[in-house]
Amino acid sequence: MSDPALHALFERLRNTSGRKLLIADEHLDCSALLQLKAVPELQILTNRQDIQLCAQQAGLSSVFNDMDLTPLGAAFDLIAYRISKEKALVHQIINQSARHLSAQGELVLAGFKDEGTKTYISKAEQYFGCKAQITRGERQLQVATLQLVRLGEPLDARQYGELQLIAEQDGLRIFSKPGQYGWNKIDGGSAHLIHCLGQQLQAGLIKPTTALDLGCGYGYLALQAARLGIASITATDNNAAAVFSCLHNFAENQIPGEVIADDCAANLPAQFDLVLCNPPFHRGFETEQALTEKFVLSAFRHLKKGGCALFVVNHFIPLDAVAAPWFHGIELPFRDKQFKVFKLSC
């Protein structure tokens, strides 16, 4: 396992008796998850569809939702959580954990100093009314164990469970919420992609009737594609918060199509005239080029013959080189100092 923070949590899970909960987001992968098959009385809560599927295949008890502990009940003897990238999500989980521990139960937080872990531990101490037991490891790893003594003021989770109107644009009402990347703004790269899509449609260079928003987030690309006249839109994302937000935006704006929880459309058999994608390039706090390759290959597999994909990436992502083995046409209709928009043709 390459993440020492997860390694530390796994050791605690193996060596603790009683009812245990692992809260798992994008830091965890399937190969690591298999190491927990022999841990008794273990429950997994995840906001990632791929982790849910892996857990099911491994015979592990798991729940997939937007990090809501309520369906799990109380009385966990150990809740283990590897610090996430999204601040509001970390606060939400710490707030909930206090209500789901047994009388002597422990919350264990693990992360690195440059991820804000020291601050999270300090805030959790104030909320739990206790002094954390802290161990340290490689790469400035910090692992904190907390027991509830006296419940204090909850951490500011930015109204985590509530959808918030973030923009009214082009006749669309766009809602989002914490728990997904870039949740509280219109991403500049996505806006450039939609501008290029409009130009392609106006010039008659593409005439799609079906489109896939791959890694949809709260659905900005899908909403704009529908506004531009594409008749049927499918949106998919691996993240529960993104799926929840996108479903609401489809209903709010009467978008014809569907929203599907899936890992990079891995279980979606349909093919489309057009794929739209603003792919992630981070897994947790780490940059990972394999993610770009994963999304490009998925786009290729989900395009009809003669279809095309529009991708927007940061300027340093070599998407043209990644796409070359699968796409015969690679064009660059937009580029500035921060973003590149590619048109990939089958």
* pLDDT tens string 310-329: 999 999 999 999 999 999 99
Smallest CA-to-CA distance from 120 within 140, 139, 101, 92 is with: 92
More confident residue, 290 or 220: 220
Q: How much is the average pLDDT of 107-119?
A: 96
Domain with CATH 3.40.50.150 in the chain: 4-146, 164-345
pLDDT at 213 over 80: yes
- Cβ partners under 8 Å of residue 64, min gap 6: 46, 47, 48, 49, 51, 52, 240, 261
The answer to whether residue 138 scores a pLDDT higher than 90 is no
Q: Output 326 or 290, whichever has higher pLDDT.
A: 326
pTM, two decimal places: 0.93
Confidence at residue 287, expressed as pLDDT on a 0 to 100 scale: 52
Please give the Cα distance from 63 to 289 (Å, whole number): 29
What pLDDT shows up at residue 29? 85
Angle at 32 between CA 181 and CA 70, to 5 degrees: 55
Which CATH number is correct for 4-146, 3.40.50.150, 3.10.20.70, 3.10.180.10, 3.40.50.2300?
A: 3.40.50.150
Distance CA 295, CA 229 (A): 25
**Do 141 and 110 form a contact (C-beta atoms < 8 A)?**
yes
**pLDDT tens digit string along 39-80?**
999 999 999 999 999 999 999 999 999 999 999 987 999 999
**Level-2 CATH architecture, domain 164-345:** 3-Layer(aba) Sandwich (3.40)
Q: How many CB atoms lie within 10 A of CB 133?
A: 12
Residue 285 has pLDDT above 50, yes or no: no
Pairing label, strands 101-112, 133-137: unpaired
Query: What is the pLDDT at residue 284?
Result: 47
More confident call, 157 vs 181: 157
Does residue 90 carry a pLDDT above 80?
yes
Of the two residues 291 and 310, the one the predictor is more confident about is: 310
pLDDT computed for residue 288 by the predictor? 58
Binning the chain into helix, strand and coil, the percentages to the nearest 5 are: 35, 30, 35
Q: Which range, of 93-102, 173-182, 276-285, averages the lowest pLDDT?
A: 276-285
Return d(Cα 124, Cα 1) in angstroms, integer.
27
